[in-house]
Amino acid sequence: MSNTILRKRFLEQILVMFGREPKKPGAVSEPAKQIHLLKRTSNKEKLQAAAAHAEAHMSTSHKWRNRRWAVLLAANLLFVVSFYFDIQILEGALTASRFIGFHLIDLNSALQVMLAHKHIITNLLIGTGTVLVLWILFGGRTFCSWVCPYHLLAEWAEKIHLWLVKKKLVIDQPVDRRLRTVFWVVFALLALATGYTVYEAISPTGIVSRALIYGPGLALLWVLALLVFEVFFVRRAWCRYACPIGLTYGVVGIFSPVRIKYTLDGCFHEGNCRKVCLVPHVLDTVIKGRAVHTEVPIGPDCTRCGLCVDVCPTGSLTYDVKGLSKLL
């Protein structure tokens, strides 16, 4: 029973990734229903007191964020250091590289090249396959938050944006999330039709990565324009509403066992997690009454960044590897 419900939710989460708004669940498992009921009927004051207590005692650590930033910086610095000192550990840029000789090729870049060039050589295939397996193992959009250098810049721009929002100087102006899917299709079609890798020319991921390794250029102006747009107008506009790389890795994430898991039981539904999340639509399950089961895995669009894990006062959101907990 709970399995079918969870499977249905999982499929819905795929649609949510492509841009559908999350809906109230149709069916909720028995144990989850009981917890929802219990939360509704419990003494409100007591619950609020408990929530306040949990929040007051929560650790304000940035454990996962710090780990993630360390990994992101290390990965990008390894490219820089490899070239600068010619130590040949990680050669190339994020679009395509060799890690101690093994080809690694970014899935979206590979797709653009394949569609534009219409000819695929073995090395391209090998590199693409390796990266596909890599991100199936590590969680798909994990690439975004743990590797993409633009993500880090955008994260800092987001901090400024939120500060300005708090000062009531700007307001976030959200855009239709379906746009990202549209862009994905449009850029694929453009590559196919024009024979140019149109997306690669404006990809901030590629531009920033190359700027770090080979030195800055005028192309950074485009990245700067995006960041300015994100600070003053639309919160995290590129990552949320435009980037086809994110959607490509999101699709990979469908098949990944690494995800964030939500445990309904101890959650007070304060909603802190949704405030820090890059993709809050994947956290609709934490809204009161929405969880379909006692434990709900977060959908594929999640970047596994761990901001919600850090911020959750009750430990209701945790990293999880599907099947691993059963094994251990």
**Could you say which residues in the range 9-38 bind other proteins, by CB under 8 A?**
23-24
Query: 262 with 287: CB under 8 angstroms?
Result: no
**Does 196 interact with other proteins (rule: CB under 8 A)?**
yes
3-state helix vs strand vs coil in the chain, percent to 5: 60, 10, 30
Minimal distance, residue 271 CB to other proteins, in Å: 3
- Site residues for other proteins, 83-142, by CB under 8 A, read 83, 86, 91-93, 95-98, 103, 105-106, 109-110, 113, 116-119, 121, 123-124, 127
H or E segment to which residue 99 belongs: strand 96-99
Place of tokens 């000192």: 85
Nearer to other proteins, 196 or 255 (CB): 196
Establish if 242 lies at the interface with other proteins (CB under 8 A): yes
End-to-end alpha carbon distance in the chain: 25
Site for other proteins in 266-285 (CB under 8 A): 269-271, 274-275, 280
Strand ranges across the sheet with 295-297: 295-297, 258-263, 317-321
Q: Which amino acid is at 104?
A: L
Pick the closer one to other proteins by CB: 198 or 264. Answer: 198
Q: What is the CA radius of gyration of the chain?
A: 21
Nearest approach, Cβ of 176 to other proteins (angstroms)?
4
Residue 63 tokens, joined = 């454990």
239 part of the interface to other proteins, by CB under 8 A: no
**Minimum CB separation from other proteins for residue 149, in Å?**
15
Question: Closest by alpha carbon to 309, among 270, 262, 265?
Answer: 262
CB atoms within 10 A of CB 227: 21
Among 241, 249, 262, 268, binds other proteins (CB under 8 A): 241
In the complex, least distance from residue 115 CB atom to other proteins, rounded to whole angstroms: 9
CB of 117: closest distance to other proteins in angstroms? 4
Residue placing its CB nearer to other proteins in the complex, 23 or 63:
23
Q: Which helix (H) or strand (E) holds 260?
A: strand 258-263
Residue 207 sits in the site that holds other proteins (CB under 8 A) = yes
Beta bridge partners of 260: 319
Buried b (16+ CB within 10 A) or exposed e, 85-104: eeeeebbbbbbbbbbeeebb
**What's the rounded Cα separation, in Å, for the pair 249 and 279?**
14
CB closer to other proteins out of 83 and 150: 83
Contact code string over 42-81 relative to other proteins, x by CB under 8 A: ----------------------------------------
Establish if 210 lies at the interface with other proteins (CB under 8 A): yes
- How many residues sit in the footprint of other proteins (CB under 8 A)? 74
